[in-house]
Amino acid sequence: MMPTQVRMPKRPDKTTTETLSGAFGFDPDESTAHFIVQVPRSNTQHVEVSEHLSWNPERITLAAHYGTERDDGQIRCRLARPKWNEIADVVRAEFNARLKREGKRPGRWKAGFNPVARLLGKELAVLMWAIEDADPATIPIAIANWQGLTPEERWWLYTMTAAATGNAISDRGRGWRKALRFALTENPVTGRHVEQSIVPEFFRLVAETPAISGEDAPPPEEPSDKPAAEDDRPSTVERETDTAEVLKPVRKTTKKSTKATGKKTTRRKKNP
């Protein structure tokens, strides 16, 4: 009888160990989907963030691309190194605080390739998109507003932005990317009440705006010199109605019977 061979688990090679060292919540044994933050050694080069659906540490240097035909490995954002330096410590501190609550090891930024868990990578991309074309003086405002968003809000914003304008090069400064810049650098979202909607109303309006969402706007109606017919003209003067007035419940009036009140009602006759 031949002895059965026991296969020992394959040990991660040096490349895998170095790449995963200091990762922010990413464990390839749990999920292969992740983000890669490539931090160059030179301060004159851009920091690039790419989204990946598969994990192959041996091809990590070749996995990222600028194309739009394949989602796996697509570079989502390129950020100037000085702007990255402004947000790196803030993002690291927030991510590590959440990882600590989940009982996971903290991460750290290093020169080279930094794996980030997919959900955290989405949140990072939202902040980077907001400041990629913004005035550096507004970065503290963007950080404060980004911190005022819940993780669920950041994930939603990433999903909407990546679907419409998710390419680092061809979609820069357009549509949702542009809306993110204005929202986080000019529109305060901190200090909101807990019962407010998870999705900021600003972005609900943006989604319905053709100029931002990318949809074709309906053609404007051509003015007509023909006067409106008498039957088509409104019989009453239209006025603007406040939202609170529209939502105000209408009270129904009920006639009280004579038996309930004990009083008799008399009707006045109209003069002919």
Examine residue 105 and state whether it is found in any structural domain, yes or no.
yes
pLDDT of residue 244: 34
Examine residue 218 and state whether it is found in any structural domain, yes or no.
no
> What whole-number distance in Å separates Cα of residue 58 and Cα of residue 50?
16
Examine residue 40 and state whether it is found in any structural domain, yes or no.
yes
Examine residue 56 and state whether it is found in any structural domain, yes or no.
yes
Residue 60, pLDDT > 90, answer no
In one-letter notation, the amino acid at residue 73 is G
pTM score, whole prediction: 0.68
Examine residue 120 and state whether it is found in any structural domain, yes or no.
yes
Examine residue 252 and state whether it is found in any structural domain, yes or no.
no
The two tokens of residue 46 are: 């851009």
Examine residue 164 and state whether it is found in any structural domain, yes or no.
yes
Q: End-to-end distance of the chain based on CA atoms, in angstroms?
A: 120
Examine residue 222 and state whether it is found in any structural domain, yes or no.
no
pLDDT of residue 186: 81
Of the two residues 37 and 230, the one the predictor is more confident about is 37
Domain enclosing residue 89, as ranges: 14-213
> What whole-number distance in Å separates Cα of residue 203 and Cα of residue 166?
16
Instruction: Specify whether the CB–CB gap between 168 and 175 falls below 8 A.
Output: no
Q: Which pLDDT band holds residue 119 (cuts at 50, 70, 90)? A: very high
Which string of DSSP letters, residue by residue, matches 141-166?
HHHHHHHHS-HHHHHHHHHHHHHHH-
- Could you tell me the CA-to-CA distances from 69 to 11, 55, 66, 74, 100 in Å, in that order? 34, 19, 9, 9, 37
The DSSP bridge pattern shows strands 74-79 and 112-117 to be unpaired
CA atoms within 13 A on the CB side of 268: 3
Residue 200, pLDDT > 80, answer no
- Could you give the number of structural domains in the chain? 1
